[in-house]
Structure 1
Amino acid sequence: MVGAKELLKPLIHLLFPLCMHWIAEEMTVSVLVDVTTGALCPGDTTCSPAIYLNGLQQTIVGIFKMVMLPVLGQLSDEYGRKPLLLLTVSTTIFPFALLVISKSKEFVYAYYVLRTISYMISQGSIFCIAVAYVADVVDNSKRAAVFSWITGLFSASHVVGNLLARFLPESYIFEVSVALLLSCSIYMYLFLEETVKQGEKMEKSSSFLYGALEVVQARYKSMRYAATIVVTSPTLKSISIVSFFYELGMSGISGVLLYYLKAAFGFDKNQFSEILSVVGIGSIASQLVGLPLLNPCLKEKGILCAAILASIAYALLYGLAWAPWVPYLSAAFGVIFVLIKPATYAVISKGSNSTNQGKAQGFVAGVQSIASLLSPLAMSPLTSWFLSSDAPFNCKGFSIILASLCMVVSLYFALALKVEAPPDNELENEESIEAPLLS
């Protein structure tokens, strides 16, 4: 534990505000299902408009994230982690502030508009930039353990958020969430130290005033460079494929799961909070203790494969759930599959050099966003169909079972993954083709 304290000490001003941010977001998750269903389908447990609206949001966000994640990753490499983190964490304040004012149908629609814009900027990018920040200050050999501790704190924050959602009155949840989000941004602005030495690149900020053509050309060059880094690296290319198929299945499940549980078993805010807490409590131990202990033996690849296998079991149990207690059993597999994130970050970090951490993390996250764009196109109508009275056969979780097949494909590619560091001479040659994003 002494080693853990030494490694996490320089990250305290990063992790503390992020924990506040994660708590604030998580405490709203279980409540939003009831709020949106109550506003759009009063008195009903099944709400197709809410499922479709949620799928539409996920699709729009996926389209923009394909560009935003790599761009934000490279911007953090060039202009610093702190300004990009401040931008991404602050966007969540505004949509939740609307629900503080009112939970009427009109305000729920307005919430979805602002939340969609917020997700375009923040979803995935916060973690990518935070991981790049860690890579700036932590030695390569110790990053897998630190990534696991960070995702463990992420899970602990989710548990706290779910407990707040479970015991706080619904009328206070959004107020508390907005207060925490504001505190997070203020703390980060005051105390977070920059880790990127910008030097002469800060002088290029005037490039914002250049013509639109120059900006488009610069972005194209930077995206091409990030793609080159990934495509020319067998490790990064393989983990991109693994991440794509895994995200294709898991994002589809996540988008409809709570609405499925509400329609199939009549779950409400309290049951949602309990299920999410089951995942969170177990995953704290697996990420803070389990992964650091297992990594020397199994390495990143072994942990990744075991986590994907647990995800497949998780999806099948949800899809075939025959009683209200089965979702709780399924949630228990979250103890293992949450290790996918730190294992993936560690593989990407090992496959790229120190100057390209943000680009590599951002590009792979962009690949994941393509999957999150595609999955609701099938999952939303399929879930709504099998929850309705017009379903061709009685299997309310059929869409979730189909989504598990994508994770089977992900497991196939993960088994063939080779984790290798990039050759030094190759990295030096690649530096010559890099173009600053806004030059």
Structure 2
Amino acid sequence: MNGLIQGVKGLLSFLSAPLIGALSDVWGRKSFLLLTVFFTCAPIPLMKISPWWYFAVISVSGVFAVTFSVVFAYVADITQEHERSMAYGLVSATFAASLVTSPAIGAYLGGIYGDNLVVILATAIALLDICFILVAVPESLPVKMRPASWEAPISWEQADPFASLKKVGQDSTVLLICITVFLSYLPEAGQYSSFFLYLKQVMRFSAESVTVFIAVLGILSIIAQTAVLSLLMRSIGNKNAILLGLVFQMLQLAWYGFGYEPWMMWAAGAVAAMSSITFPAVSALVSRNADSDQQGVVQGMITGIRGLCNGLGPALYGFIFYIFHVELNESPENDAESSDSKKTESHSEQSSIIPGPPFLFGACSVLLALLVAFFIPEYRNMSVRPSSWKKLAGNHGHVHNSQLPSEAKEPLLQDTSV
């Protein structure tokens, strides 16, 4: 059921994220920030009201649950180019901070007061978030960046949900970045869906140890995505920071794959924190190479690729665990110790050479991403505009300067006869 839900949600996110980003380039960020946050949080109260409605809504919510593309476009609006890597690192670090605090808070409150209170509290926080956006978050897209009233706000080619696939192939830099994101995030998405259960069932971590592991990993990720990423961007540059993050991710996954002792998982977790610099570094590179009025659509393309991975990754990891006979089934806490020992012996017999086969597959995938990333240029203007932008001149008599590629803007300014 979880694989089906994530698959549907990921596919819908992949198709809708570029469109949501493109619309935010036209109509502003705030309204779409409200929309994406609302649909991301909408399934929460349904967890207790109706599980089947929860499954349905969380699947369909993938159409609008693409907050990252709007947030990163917002950051690009309000920061200078040299500030964006640090800003994207802060955005990713706050996400890591939520992963540090929420499992511990949920487990503590659920253990004392029950799951109902956890769902109620989560719903209240989601409503507070929406109110905060309404009251305290200003619109970031300048009015001069939006089309005039006589202009078509968005063409059908931009609104076509399958147009993102066409746009990827139109520019070699966009294509290389999208392939890098896909190959690196596919194993990461699969890891998120199974890793903590893997720690409990295969590595025999207790529930408390898993909570501490999440907290330590989250704290280290916050440090990596803020102070360390900022230092790396100044010293070795944007592209080299991406390559370094991919190297750390590959080492981390290989370590998880071959590790068979708890201390090895802890050591690999420290390496995993360093690998978290990859996504904010990629977002900074994409932002640097895109025009100011194209930030939403390019960030949406990257978010869409991540959404597709969120659908494919868990299914892929589950299939690999299955074919290698590594079972990740939750066992009741009151099972006899003899049963636990039999399971441990069974796991050790089945996977004595490679305890975590999916992680090794992930390491190979990241290695391919690393090879692709070598060919990404450090700086090159990307164009993800529809090929029909020239037709707008025939429709309206003239073309708004913000709708033209950067190489066409200067002649337009000089030639008053256009």
Change (3 A) 1:145 1:363: same
Deviations 1:379-404 (A, max 9, x none): 22222442248999424421222122
Which residue in 1 is equivalent to 2:287?
Answer: 349
Change (3 A) 1:112 1:396: farther
Over the matched positions of the two proteins, sequence identity in percent amounts to 22
Structure 2 length-normalised TM: 0.77
Q: Distance in 1 between matches of 2:88 and 2:388?
A: 27
Taking only aligned residues, the RMSD between alpha carbons, in angstroms, comes to: 3.4
Change (3 A) 1:115 1:429: closer
1:60 equivalent to 2:3? Answer: no
Give the secondary structure class of the aligned counterpart of 2:12.
helix
Which residue in 2 is equivalent to 1:297?
Answer: 235
Deviation at 1:198, TM superposition (A): 5.3
What are structure 2's unaligned runs of at least 5 residues?
328-342, 401-418
Which residue in 2 is equivalent to 1:387?
Answer: 326
Match of 1:408 among 362, 367, 381: 367
Higher helix proportion (structure 1 or 2): 1
Give the secondary structure class of the aligned counterpart of 1:422.
coil
How many pairs were matched up?
368
Deviation at 1:233, TM superposition (A): 3.6
| Amino acid across the alignment from 2:64 | I
Contact 1:350 1:419 in 2 (8 A): no
1:145 equivalent to 2:86? Answer: yes
User: 258-267 or 298-307: which moved more?
Assistant: 258-267
Give the secondary structure class of the aligned counterpart of 1:322.
coil
Deviation at 1:280, TM superposition (A): 0.9
Deviations 1:113-169 (A, max 9, x none): 3222234421xx211111101111111222112212222232223323244235433
1:121 equivalent to 2:64? Answer: yes
Structure ID, larger Rg: 2
Q: Distance in 1 between matches of 2:386 and 2:23?
A: 20
Q: Distance in 2 between matches of 1:196 and 1:360?
A: 15
User: 248-257 or 385-394: which moved more?
Assistant: 385-394
Contact 1:279 1:332 in 2 (8 A): yes
Which residue in 1 is equivalent to 2:129?
Answer: 184
Which residue in 2 is equivalent to 1:328?
Answer: 266
Contact 1:353 1:427 in 2 (8 A): no
Deviation at 1:295, TM superposition (A): 0.7
Deviation at 1:248, TM superposition (A): 2.0
User: 313-322 or 293-302: which moved more?
Assistant: 313-322
| Amino acid across the alignment from 2:32 | L
Q: Distance in 2 between matches of 1:193 and 1:349?
A: 21
Contact 1:54 1:255 in 2 (8 A): no
Contact 1:256 1:383 in 2 (8 A): no
1:96 equivalent to 2:96? Answer: no
Contact 1:92 1:181 in 2 (8 A): no
Match of 1:69 among 12, 17, 26: 17
Which residue in 2 is equivalent to 1:22?
Answer: none
Deviation at 1:253, TM superposition (A): 1.9
Change (3 A) 1:382 1:116: same
| Amino acid across the alignment from 1:410 | A
What is the 5 A alignment of 1:208-223? 219-220=159-160
Contact 1:65 1:366 in 2 (8 A): yes
| Amino acid across the alignment from 1:192 | V
Contact 2:10 2:62 in 1 (8 A): no
1:112 equivalent to 2:112? Answer: no
Deviation at 1:430, TM superposition (A): 8.1
1:421 equivalent to 2:380? Answer: yes
